[in-house]
Amino acid sequence: MKDGRVLDNWSQVMQNNYGPPSLALVSGKGLVVVDSDGKKYLDFLGGIATNALGHAHPVIVKAVTKQVSVLGHVSNFYAHPKAVALAGKLKEMSGDSDARVFFAQSGAEAVEAAIKLSRRTGRSRMVAAQGAFHGRTMGALSLTGQPSKREPFLPLLKGVKHVPYGDIEAMRRVVNKKTAMVIIEPIMGEAGVIVPPPDYLAGVREICDATGALMVADCVQTGIARTGDWFGYEYSGIRPDVITLAKALGGGLPLSAMIACGASAYLFAPGDHGSTFGGNPITCAAGLAILNYIEKNNLMIAVKKHEKRLFQEIALIPGVNEIRGAGLLIGIELTNPIAQKVLVDLRSAGVLVNAPTPTTIRIAPALTVSPAQIGTFISIFKKVMTHVS
Ligand SMILES: *Cc1c(COP(=O)(O)O)cnc(C)c1O
């Protein structure tokens, strides 16, 4: 198939669950992607916070190529070095000496694992935030707090309550000794990069401690140095019982993890859960290479620097009402509901972003973004804003 035909053929062969895509991308290098007409774009969405090291990064290419030529897959009847090494690294990052890791492929599956783990407390009720996104499988969707995504698929799991995000009193009212788990995004990504009050996570921690509910930090979008820390909750000083990771963990390869800490690390018994591809040697090799690269190259420090600059310079642009987020997960709140138009104009100008709400532009570029690329983004964004408003 000629590349130019990709978009034409899409609707003939693909389910329409995403709606027709705007571009067909055929290659990428670093933060630059190329479409089927040969046009280049600066990728400031990074596969939605997934391409941690950009496209075709040499350390990922090398790790994957090497692993696929040595041992591409084994069943979970057998151990292999890459999964054990990656789990060891995640355990070290969690700072918890009891931490134990379960690997899967997607964010929803990491959340599903957390749901099943929480059932092993003997409780079944769950609490999540309104507007939160935890995935699309039936269990994860039961926790996702967005009515438009849930309603066509009712009934979902029973015993789930959704409370306003950031409202600690609302949380206190619904969590009790029958609550198996409370799941919270440290920053709500899909909802439009919503940051809770600074003491919110500590408040949730306290409520979970008082009731014995597991506190699950869904770090699928905010994990792996995205916010300038390994995990999006770290600024709060708390430690959750369970951490879910996906997106950037595999840097574009399908890899997710559910890390259970403290006593919750021992809730699963043999036979309780599983996944054929979970902890696959190739994806784990990629994950290890990514974590080591982030550490060796001090990317977390770079992320904090970029954050400071983006916040300072974007806040000054006319038509910008507010800038939210942390590190390289940023929501630009516009004064008017023109986010879709801004997105289209940015795309024409060669920059890819997304618009999670009619007033919000989200950026989540690779952690390897250069100061020059940040500068390019700011100047193109400024130009587009002047023309649309
Ligand atoms: C993307 C996301 C998920 C779902 O991940 P999938 O890989 O699409 O299943 C879950 N939680 C959060 C916070 C996410 O951002």
Task: Please report the pLDDT score of residue 3 as a whole number.
Answer: 59
Contact present, 108 and 91 (Cβ < 8 Å):
no
Confidence check: pLDDT of 364 > 80: yes
Nearest to 47 by CA among 35, 31, 63: 31
* 268 shares its domain with 319: no
* 166 shares its domain with 254: yes
Atom index in ligand 1 nearest the CA of residue 221 equals: 15
246 lines ligand 1 (CB under 6 A): yes
Interatomic CA distance for residues 320 and 360, integer angstroms: 10
Distances from the Cα of 202 to the Cα of 149, 209, 215, angstroms: 29, 10, 11
Given 247, 276, 296, the domain boundary residue is 296
How many of the other CB atoms lie within 10 Å of CB of 180? 22
Atom index in ligand 1 nearest the CA of residue 219 equals: 13
Look up residue 56 and give its DSSP letter: S
Element (H, E) at 220: none
Q: How many whole angstroms from 51 Cα to the centroid of ligand 1?
A: 14
Element (H, E) at 359: none
* 329 shares its domain with 383: yes
Given 234, 267, 296, the domain boundary residue is 296
135 lines ligand 1 (CB under 6 A): yes
Confidence check: pLDDT of 380 > 90: yes
- Say which amino acid occupies 349: A
* 213 shares its domain with 169: yes
* 49 shares its domain with 65: no
Q: How many whole angstroms from 318 Cα to the centroid of ligand 1?
A: 32
Contact present, 216 and 261 (Cβ < 8 Å):
no
241 lines ligand 1 (CB under 6 A): no
Could you confirm whether 44 is annotated as catalytic? Answer: no
The two structure tokens encoding residue 342: 């801004």
221 lines ligand 1 (CB under 6 A): yes
| The pTM of the whole model exceeds 0.95 | yes
% of the chain with per-residue pLDDT over 70: 99
* 244 shares its domain with 268: yes
Confidence check: pLDDT of 4 > 80: no
Task: Please report the pLDDT score of residue 2 as a whole number.
Answer: 55
* 312 shares its domain with 290: no
* Per-residue pLDDT tens over the stretch 30-52: 999 999 999 999 999 999 999 99
* 171 shares its domain with 251: yes
Atom index in ligand 1 nearest the CA of residue 256 equals: 7
Task: Please report the pLDDT score of residue 8 as a whole number.
Answer: 87
133 lines ligand 1 (CB under 6 A): yes
Catalytic residue among 43, 96, 218, 345: 218
Confidence check: pLDDT of 389 > 80: no
Burial of 141 (0-12, 13-18, 19+ CB in 10 A): buried
Residue with tokens 């059932």: 119
Confidence check: pLDDT of 325 > 70: yes
Could you confirm whether 218 is annotated as catalytic? Answer: yes
Q: How sure is the predictor about 287, in pLDDT bands with cuts at 50, 70 and 90? A: very high
* 30 shares its domain with 114: no
CA dihedral 65, 70, 76, 77 (to 10 degrees): 180
First vs last Cα of the chain: how many Å apart?
41
Phi, psi of 372 (to 5 degrees): -65, -40
Question: Which one of 141, 221, 231, 255 would you pick to mutate in the ligand 1 pocket, going by the greatest count of ligand atoms within 8 A of its CB?
Answer: 221
Q: For 325-354, give the DSSP string.
A: EETTEEEEEESSS-HHHHHHHHHHTTEE-E
* Per-residue pLDDT tens over the stretch 299-321: 999 999 999 999 999 999 999 99
**What would the mean pLDDT of 120-136 be, rounded to a whole number?**
98
* 69 shares its domain with 11: no
Strands 256-260 and 242-245: antiparallel
Domain span at residue 142 reads 61-296
| 350: Cβ contacts below 8 Å, ≥ 6 apart | 39, 40, 41, 42, 380
* 166 shares its domain with 239: yes
- Say which amino acid occupies 125: R
**What would the mean pLDDT of 168-185 be, rounded to a whole number?**
98
* Per-residue pLDDT tens over the stretch 193-205: 999 999 999 999 9
* Per-residue pLDDT tens over the stretch 334-357: 999 999 999 999 999 999 999 999
Nearest to 266 by CA among 32, 77, 140, 100: 100
Q: How many domains does the chain have?
A: 2
**What would the mean pLDDT of 154-183 be, rounded to a whole number?**
98
**What would the mean pLDDT of 109-121 be, rounded to a whole number?**
98
Confidence check: pLDDT of 149 > 70: yes
Task: Please report the pLDDT score of residue 188 as a whole number.
Answer: 98
Task: Please report the pLDDT score of residue 51 as a whole number.
Answer: 98
CATH code, 108? 3.40.640.10
Q: Mean pLDDT for the chain?
A: 97
Element (H, E) at 374: helix 371-388
The two structure tokens encoding residue 31: 């933060």
Confidence check: pLDDT of 279 > 60: yes
* 172 shares its domain with 245: yes
